[in-house]
Amino acid sequence: MADTTESFARLDHERIDRRGYPEAIFCEGKTPEQVGAIAAELREHGRAPALFTRAGPEHARAVLAELPDARHESQARLLVWPPVPPAPEGGLVVVLAAGTSDLPVALEAELTARYLGRRCELAVDVGVAGLHRVIGMLDLLRSARVVVVAAGMDGALPSVVAGLVAAPVVAVPTSVGYGAAFGGLAPLLSMLNACSPGVAVVNIDNGFGAGHLAAQIAAPLTPAAGAAT
Amino acid sequence: MADTTESFARLDHERIDRRGYPEAIFCEGKTPEQVGAIAAELREHGRAPALFTRAGPEHARAVLAELPDARHESQARLLVWPPVPPAPEGGLVVVLAAGTSDLPVALEAELTARYLGRRCELAVDVGVAGLHRVIGMLDLLRSARVVVVAAGMDGALPSVVAGLVAAPVVAVPTSVGYGAAFGGLAPLLSMLNACSPGVAVVNIDNGFGAGHLAAQIAAPLTPAAGAAT
Amino acid sequence: MADTTESFARLDHERIDRRGYPEAIFCEGKTPEQVGAIAAELREHGRAPALFTRAGPEHARAVLAELPDARHESQARLLVWPPVPPAPEGGLVVVLAAGTSDLPVALEAELTARYLGRRCELAVDVGVAGLHRVIGMLDLLRSARVVVVAAGMDGALPSVVAGLVAAPVVAVPTSVGYGAAFGGLAPLLSMLNACSPGVAVVNIDNGFGAGHLAAQIAAPLTPAAGAAT
Amino acid sequence: MADTTESFARLDHERIDRRGYPEAIFCEGKTPEQVGAIAAELREHGRAPALFTRAGPEHARAVLAELPDARHESQARLLVWPPVPPAPEGGLVVVLAAGTSDLPVALEAELTARYLGRRCELAVDVGVAGLHRVIGMLDLLRSARVVVVAAGMDGALPSVVAGLVAAPVVAVPTSVGYGAAFGGLAPLLSMLNACSPGVAVVNIDNGFGAGHLAAQIAAPLTPAAGAAT
Amino acid sequence: MADTTESFARLDHERIDRRGYPEAIFCEGKTPEQVGAIAAELREHGRAPALFTRAGPEHARAVLAELPDARHESQARLLVWPPVPPAPEGGLVVVLAAGTSDLPVALEAELTARYLGRRCELAVDVGVAGLHRVIGMLDLLRSARVVVVAAGMDGALPSVVAGLVAAPVVAVPTSVGYGAAFGGLAPLLSMLNACSPGVAVVNIDNGFGAGHLAAQIAAPLTPAAGAAT
Amino acid sequence: MADTTESFARLDHERIDRRGYPEAIFCEGKTPEQVGAIAAELREHGRAPALFTRAGPEHARAVLAELPDARHESQARLLVWPPVPPAPEGGLVVVLAAGTSDLPVALEAELTARYLGRRCELAVDVGVAGLHRVIGMLDLLRSARVVVVAAGMDGALPSVVAGLVAAPVVAVPTSVGYGAAFGGLAPLLSMLNACSPGVAVVNIDNGFGAGHLAAQIAAPLTPAAGAAT
Amino acid sequence: MADTTESFARLDHERIDRRGYPEAIFCEGKTPEQVGAIAAELREHGRAPALFTRAGPEHARAVLAELPDARHESQARLLVWPPVPPAPEGGLVVVLAAGTSDLPVALEAELTARYLGRRCELAVDVGVAGLHRVIGMLDLLRSARVVVVAAGMDGALPSVVAGLVAAPVVAVPTSVGYGAAFGGLAPLLSMLNACSPGVAVVNIDNGFGAGHLAAQIAAPLTPAAGAAT
Amino acid sequence: MADTTESFARLDHERIDRRGYPEAIFCEGKTPEQVGAIAAELREHGRAPALFTRAGPEHARAVLAELPDARHESQARLLVWPPVPPAPEGGLVVVLAAGTSDLPVALEAELTARYLGRRCELAVDVGVAGLHRVIGMLDLLRSARVVVVAAGMDGALPSVVAGLVAAPVVAVPTSVGYGAAFGGLAPLLSMLNACSPGVAVVNIDNGFGAGHLAAQIAAPLTPAAGAAT
């Protein structure tokens, strides 16, 4: 039986009202016991889908002990509850992983956007070293309301994609690479300096943030979501 | 009479078709003669509004020699031609300047979004040191399809704003500050690490990029703009 | 039986006279044997409360072997002896943890200030993403002689708090976060660039230093403490 | 005749009530016209001493045109109005400049604290290369409620001073030095890593912030200042 | 009449024998008098083409006073003497400038390779924001023995080009850009992390080094050049 | 039995046609299962030698399960298949390791060049601290079409070698060293600032990239390799 | 039985003749087998004391298997052979450790200088937080031909010591500390910016280099040591 | 007539007794008036040679107004008074400038050592790109008690020199270079990571500090200098 949360956390249950999106639980730096207690509180009082991000195996076990039917995507270090995403509304979110190693971050983005209510398509291994792979998916890219691109190393893909589409591009640098990639600094700087305008950058490896931002950009134009035409 | 451009530039006239937005001319690092020749070519062949960004006084003179009716906003280092913005479409873009010194960057963002066809509102001196100033404009913030925030120093304002609204926040760090602001590095890192999700970061002092991104996010949902519901 | 300390340390027993505060023992980088021997020497010769900071489990065992009644707060990696804090004097110290993951550092600050003789209140999960949580504790904040704020990621909370109170704010950046948080660099820079004056910054994760500084700021105005009206 | 401020600034006149200290005007990055208009507004509506910080010669001229009796300390790039500081209350603030080149920053700190109502003493050229100069002023140092230390290069002085006194030390790194001083980064890091606890660090060259913080620390214990025993 | 050089320089006249390429004179940091004296010595004793790199207007005047028929390319800050390049040998060097602002660096590379004896083609404004411009010159790129790419901002072009050709790509990051380009750091890191192998990186803005390296790579396979099949 | 690759990777089988060199598989960040599935696909469909780089023991096991006769060089973290290199063509590649600790990176470079079809010679422990060791191999160095130098710490060797030979030098900084070597940053910067022109820098520890680049530089002058005289 | 070294190392046996000091073996990055083989070669062919630096437990075992009477100082990660230092010559080397955690580096320096033939004195816990500890050893400091200071955190001790003595000070920054110590960067920068001239800085944690340099500075003035009056 | 110094400086006249070397006046950051007043005070009360370092033209004028016979070496930004150096004592100091652009720093080192009483030899343009130039001066290098090396860019020369001589090498990185030299960071890191032990590093462009350190290392072994055999 998990602890109550009041000695270490105060959940922001009303965020769903204020922002239209629920608070997510960032697991890194919390003990499994704390995460378990938060899961229990969300089960009792939560009024919205619950996302647990950057969850290690111990965190996952603690969540599943309280929310046994939660969906656990271990590659993306994500748990979501309830396990079925809401019916999709709004525009299409296309998520690209530049290489296989960027897939966990891309998946985290894709699942986040899906559980916040968007339709999503995920494509993998679209690096600029094989440009034909990018060009081959132009139709898909141009059907998106927003494109999320996860890329490490040179971080060149968002520039290339943004030059081809009207939609905004959410760029997530990843820590994939070594040496002068400096843990994702290289693609982060590339993306901030993208020669094509229309690139929105989030933190290194922040798949959750990318998916959240994409969901907001592709939100339907209803007063409920706080958006206005 | 200006030079032809072919020895130093190849303009991307078709970008307006491909992306729905015209290529802008980045003046920094170009000679006034080069900028003048580009202005002449745009006058002859351009099919879309022309924006000249980061234009110094010499650049401005060279543009105005070719496009005498261009609008020159010297504080924002921007020239636009033709001088009247298109009729606005899409959602509202609200632009905030955290302090007076952030105003040039905020203006560059606001004018860019306006000339790319969006309705805009600009508010100034909304720093977190006087929180009541932020809270006092909640209604305006919540009517926006996207909020642009220009802030230097601690770069804290986007986090605070993003925690209050459903719309995405485009955060532009500015080089306002000194010492450990390191030319905008401090607010850049703050914004990348915003504790509220939904913050899209662009380069330091990149008001143009922020306005362009905001225009894309607030674009109307028409096939012409490449967006899909 | 622990070693004598003379081959590796010379304790500053007179610091309590010179400064009014005892020397603390920084455990990281010392062997458990060295820490144990220091504990033994303090038991014999120490004239003031002893604090052991950044103590791992092995360090803790070594201290407890010599000072069995020492209080061990493992989350804060702190041991104090004797286990009962002195009777409080001076002003109130309020300690805030921006998020649950910042709690260990906040606890270290709170316990340090308490064992150096101050009254303390600790509040948790006061991040700027939910501004109402900050505003809801204005009365507490305004009753403080000094506020300590532990925050990672964007490090925005000290700016917001300092804008609301007359008391100085001691800001402790934490290494909570990932990617472009760069191990606490992001909140460190934010805090150094706080747009509200009155923010005193200490090292990343330095809860001890924050608590010590707060204890000095909130010290009673007596000649014993070396302070003068 | 200066412009009105509403298009570029919204002054925080009520800060004096909320925090007990007035808002200061950061001149860098503002045009002289903007600064002049703010001076005019403060003359009409300000209810507290006005400080203009980091003011260049053009800013100074603009302020003096509106507030002819303002005191201008050009070495500290500071203007204050009205020109006579308030009657001092609270503890003594001692300000040290490690070297002659640190004097402008030390002066800015000293004047700020004085105009916020504190008694101040300033001592110069107290670098650790001549330790006898530090030790020779122990009596002065120990009579302080707070010591401000401005130092560039190795930034070693705050550590040394903090090891000698009970009072907190406010450390201001300066950009004095060259090469691997990296514009003040070296003393900034030294001060953050001071081996003596009790060092409160502010931004590089931030004499204003240091003086403001010192004034808060040395504030009298009255409810008006928001402080509590 | 210029000074003799012996008090400040010892020219490496035999480098042409040892390496097959002459020593170039780096003008930055030398006085015009020193550069003039070196020009005079090269006129008397030099046995190979002389290149003066990073030459400001004063340097140029000093060189032309001694070598009046030297060719001065002010945009590339380069002087060469004798003014006619040697008859070309070896493979083709293709030089790309990603944008107009990268042209000075690209020109420096192109002229260096040409004066070291290679055939060269220069193409401008080939940025990845308009991918069709890259793809449109595939035939030219594939006819090269080596491709030099000068690019600032995101530095993405070398990755894209290297993915399309068999030849090695020499990548020169430029300081074109602002903010988080950090004076060329962003494209430098991108290029070092190019996802396509075959990218040889040189220093920021080092057009001379890029041209020299390209000349060596495209050298004919003769014993005179020290190369072996 | 390994998975199919389509859910996580799209191999670029045609790269051998487009570039003349096959795509290599970067194992770091991929799961052993993913690497195994790729090995299986290459066995079925690959038309060129397969290289698996930065392969840990688990990756190696997964590759060998699918390609039992692959050659595994564990020191270089490399697997190649088929196990016999192609008959060498083109010029000689000489690879130097500055110290014993640089050997793994040098080996990775040497094996890569060899499996891409070049003759190679490897020499070890040629650091500048014993200059006679460099000078003693001048004949070997001067017989090379390209020299690869792997060096950590001060990264001084490429400058020295480039000053002695006509051939280009490919410089690979290694992460050998500690403290202010900053994981290879020190030799990386040295190499980028080599005072001898003709130094081509690749990423820290990127032996594969160095070998690939060397193979391209030393390629025979045939249309098949895409090179032209 | 250990391998021969020729495939991975070429020892510089003649360094003792050329420089007067033997080559040391840097163990980090070498396999235990390689280190063992080098130890065997030194046993057979070495003409001078052998030092093995930065040796882990596995390295130590490998050395002791070949040189069973070698002296192993595990705290300093050093092995020396033969185990008895040479008879001391030249001036006195005084080594200070600022804190207990700096002791391993200080010991490495002291042992290195001793085995290179100098008299040494080691003193510990001399940090500037307790200045009386520094001043209390002025006589010892002033009897030294060179003082070595190992310090982490603020790295302030070398400045203080250099201000008190005529002898040069060799400053070794250590990685002791956390957060903004950035692995020793903070004390490194302090020491490079020491406000007292006469401070010679070596790499972070480089006790060996500090001891070697001190031995050279304190060398007797004999032709054998290559030194001249 | 210059001001008195007491309001901005306290000279350390007794440093010559305490350390054996006089205090030097660092001019950068001081006003010409302050420097002039210090010169006047030294004329009246100084008991040792006076050095004014990093003096701009205005500083020089102010010094010469008070000390008309002072020697002004403008290239080294140094003034010394009295103008004749003391009779040399102790060992030989050899100073190398890697390139012509490093000459100002090398000269500052050479003049400092000479005015502190040492014999000096200066050699220029000894870069590692032409190794024969280094090797050609081995006899000179081996006659030195200490070698000072000023080098920018790759900073490789100290490693090479230290590998050839018994004497310690004082390495001064210079800000010569551009791009990834990062204002001298590249050679600074190279020198700190020199693969040859015996390299003593000082701050970037710190010719004064290098000359001072060299003078201390080469000091005669007399009690007056505080040194002991």
Whether B9 has a pLDDT exceeding 90, the answer reads no
- Report CA-CA distances (Å) from A90 to A93, A144, B224: 9, 11, 17
Task: In whole angstroms, give the CA distance from residue E122 to residue E147.
Answer: 10
CB atoms A205 and C129 under 8 Å:
no
In D, minimum Cα distance to C192 occurs at D203
In E, minimum Cα distance to F90 occurs at E229
CB atoms H103 and E10 under 8 Å:
no
Mean pLDDT of all residues belonging to chain F: 92
pLDDT tens digits along B49-100: 899 999 999 999 999 999 999 999 999 999 999 999 999 999 999 999 999 9
pLDDT tens digits along A69-105: 999 999 999 999 999 999 999 999 999 999 999 999 9
Q: Give the best residue of E145, E175, E188, E204 to mutate against chain F (max F CB count within 10 A).
A: E145
Mean pLDDT of all residues belonging to chain A: 92
C145 min Cα distance to partner chain A (Å)? 24
Q: Coil, strand or helix: which one is F80?
A: strand
pLDDT of residue A15: 84
pLDDT of residue C229: 35
Whether A139 has a pLDDT exceeding 70, the answer reads yes
Tokens of D117: 């109502």
pLDDT of residue E127: 83
Provide the β-strand partners of residue F94: F121, F147
Q: What is the ipTM of this complex?
A: 0.94
pLDDT of residue C16: 85
Whether H11 has a pLDDT exceeding 90, the answer reads no
Largest CA distance in chain H: 55
With cut-offs at 50, 70 and 90, classify the pLDDT of residue G139: very high
pLDDT of residue H13: 81
pLDDT tens digits along C30-89: 999 999 999 999 999 877 789 999 999 999 999 999 999 999 999 999 999 999 999 999
Do D and F make contact, counting contact as 3+ CB pairs within 8 angstroms?
A: no
CB atoms H200 and G170 under 8 Å:
yes
Contacts of A34 in chain C (CB under 8 A): 100
With cut-offs at 50, 70 and 90, classify the pLDDT of residue F222: low
Contacts of C216 in chain D (CB under 8 A): 166-168, 198
The partner residue sitting opposite F227, judged by closest CB among E167, E197, E219, is E167
Do A and G make contact, counting contact as 3+ CB pairs within 8 angstroms?
A: no
pLDDT of residue F205: 98
Q: Give the best residue of D100, D154, D157, D169 to mutate against chain G (max G CB count within 10 A).
A: D154
pLDDT of residue C3: 53
Q: Which domains are present in chain A? A: 15-81 (3.30.1370), 92-217 (3.40.50.1970)
Q: Which has more confidence, B2 or F104?
A: F104
pLDDT tens digits along H21-73: 988 999 999 999 999 999 999 999 877 789 999 999 999 999 999 999 999 99
Whether H2 has a pLDDT exceeding 60, the answer reads no
In G, minimum Cα distance to H193 occurs at G203
In G, minimum Cα distance to H217 occurs at G217
The partner residue sitting opposite C159, judged by closest CB among B99, B154, B163, is B154
Whether A226 has a pLDDT exceeding 70, the answer reads no
CB atoms B213 and A227 under 8 Å:
no
Whether D152 has a pLDDT exceeding 70, the answer reads yes
3-state percent breakdown (helix, strand, coil) of chain H, nearest 5: 40, 15, 40
Q: What is the mean pLDDT of residues A95-119?
A: 97
Q: Give the best residue of A203, A205, A206, A212 to mutate against chain C (max C CB count within 10 A).
A: A203
Mean pLDDT of all residues belonging to chain B: 92
CB atoms B166 and A201 under 8 Å:
no
CB atoms G12 and F124 under 8 Å:
no
Whether B195 has a pLDDT exceeding 60, the answer reads yes
Q: What is the mean pLDDT of residues H131-135?
A: 89
pLDDT tens digits along F146-205: 999 999 999 999 999 999 999 999 999 999 999 999 999 999 999 999 999 999 999 999
CB atoms D26 and B129 under 8 Å:
no
**Residue H151 near residue H98, CB atoms below 8 Å:** yes
Q: Coil, strand or helix: which one is F146?
A: strand
Q: What is the mean pLDDT of residues A47-57?
A: 91
pTM, full prediction: 0.95
The partner residue sitting opposite E8, judged by closest CB among H124, H133, H181, is H124
Contacts of D125 in chain H (CB under 8 A): 8-10
CB atoms H133 and E10 under 8 Å:
yes
Mean pLDDT of all residues belonging to chain C: 92
Least confident stretch, C49-53, E197-201, F218-222, G211-215: F218-222
Q: What is the mean pLDDT of residues G33-55?
A: 91
Whether B118 has a pLDDT exceeding 60, the answer reads yes
**Residue C113 near residue C105, CB atoms below 8 Å:** no
Element (H, E) at H187: helix H185-192
Task: Choose among D186, H72, C24, D46: nearest CA to G182.
Answer: D186
Least confident stretch, A46-55, E172-181, H75-84: A46-55
The partner residue sitting opposite B103, judged by closest CB among D8, D15, D175, is D8
H143 min Cα distance to partner chain E (Å)? 21
Per the document, the length of chain B is 229
Task: In whole angstroms, give the CA distance from residue C151 to residue C191.
Answer: 9
CB atoms A183 and C179 under 8 Å:
yes
CB atoms H100 and E7 under 8 Å:
no
**Residue F22 near residue F50, CB atoms below 8 Å:** yes
Contacts of H178 in chain E (CB under 8 A): 28, 54, 203-206
**Residue C148 near residue C95, CB atoms below 8 Å:** yes
Whether D3 has a pLDDT exceeding 70, the answer reads no
Largest CA distance in chain C: 55
Count of pairs with CB atoms under 8 A, one residue in A, one in B = 126
Burial label for E50, CB within 10 Å (0-12, 13-18, 19+), is: buried
pLDDT of residue G226: 40
pLDDT of residue A222: 58
- Report CA-CA distances (Å) from G4 to G7, G63, G224: 8, 14, 32
Q: What is the mean pLDDT of residues G58-65?
A: 98
With cut-offs at 50, 70 and 90, classify the pLDDT of residue F226: very low
Q: What is the mean pLDDT of residues E2-17?
A: 78
With cut-offs at 50, 70 and 90, classify the pLDDT of residue F224: very low
Subunits in contact with chain B (3 or more CB pairs closer than 8 Å): A, C, D, E
Q: Give the best residue of F101, F154, F185 to mutate against chain H (max H CB count within 10 A).
A: F154
pLDDT of residue F2: 44
G173 min Cα distance to partner chain F (Å)? 9
Q: Which residues contact B84 (CB under 8 A, 6 or more apart)?
A: none
Contacts of H29 in chain D (CB under 8 A): 99-101, 176
Contacts of G8 in chain F (CB under 8 A): 100, 103, 124-125
Whether D219 has a pLDDT exceeding 90, the answer reads yes
With cut-offs at 50, 70 and 90, classify the pLDDT of residue D222: low
Q: Which has more confidence, H127 or B107?
A: B107
Q: Is the backbone of residue E213 left (phi > 0), alpha (psi -120 to 50) or beta?
A: alpha
Tokens of D229: 């025993």
Q: State the Cα angle at F19 between F80 and F120, rounded to 5°.
A: 45
Task: Choose among H191, H146, H138: nearest CA to H164.
Answer: H138
Q: What percent of chain A shows pLDDT beyond 70?
A: 95
**Residue F137 near residue F122, CB atoms below 8 Å:** no
DSSP per-residue codes, chain A? -PPPSTTT----TTHHHHHSSPPPEE-TTS-HHHHHHHHHHHHHH--S-EEEES--HHHHHHHHHH-TT-EEEGGGTEEEESSSPPPP-SSEEEEEESSGGGHHHHHHHHHHHHHTT-EEEEEE---GGGHHHHHTTHHHHHT-SEEEEEE-TT--HHHHHHTT-SS-EEEEE---S-GGGGGGHHHHHHHHT-SSS-EEE--TT-HHHHHHHHHHHT--S-GGGT---
Tokens of C209: 């230093």
pLDDT of residue G222: 58
Count of pairs with CB atoms under 8 A, one residue in B, one in D = 50
Contacts of G168 in chain H (CB under 8 A): 200, 213, 216-217
Q: What is the mean pLDDT of residues E145-162?
A: 97
- Rounded to 5 degrees, φ, ψ at D4 are -80, 165
Element (H, E) at B52: strand B50-53
Q: Which residues contact D134 (CB under 8 A, 6 or more apart)?
A: D126, D128, D157, D160, D161, D164
The partner residue sitting opposite G176, judged by closest CB among C29, C183, C205, is C29
Mean pLDDT of all residues belonging to chain G: 92
pLDDT of residue E70: 96
**Residue C86 near residue C120, CB atoms below 8 Å:** no
Q: Which residues contact C6 (CB under 8 A, 6 or more apart)?
A: none
Task: In whole angstroms, give the CA distance from residue B29 to residue B19.
Answer: 25
3-state percent breakdown (helix, strand, coil) of chain C, nearest 5: 40, 15, 40
Whether G2 has a pLDDT exceeding 50, the answer reads no
- Rounded to 5 degrees, φ, ψ at D148 are -105, 130
With cut-offs at 50, 70 and 90, classify the pLDDT of residue A208: very high
pLDDT of residue F228: 37
Interhelix angle G185-192/D185-192, rounded to 10 degrees, is 130
pLDDT of residue D20: 87
Task: In whole angstroms, give the CA distance from residue H52 to residue H32.
Answer: 12
Subunits in contact with chain A (3 or more CB pairs closer than 8 Å): B, C, E, F
Q: Which has more confidence, H187 or F48?
A: H187
pLDDT of residue C28: 94
CB atoms B179 and D203 under 8 Å:
yes
pLDDT of residue D2: 44
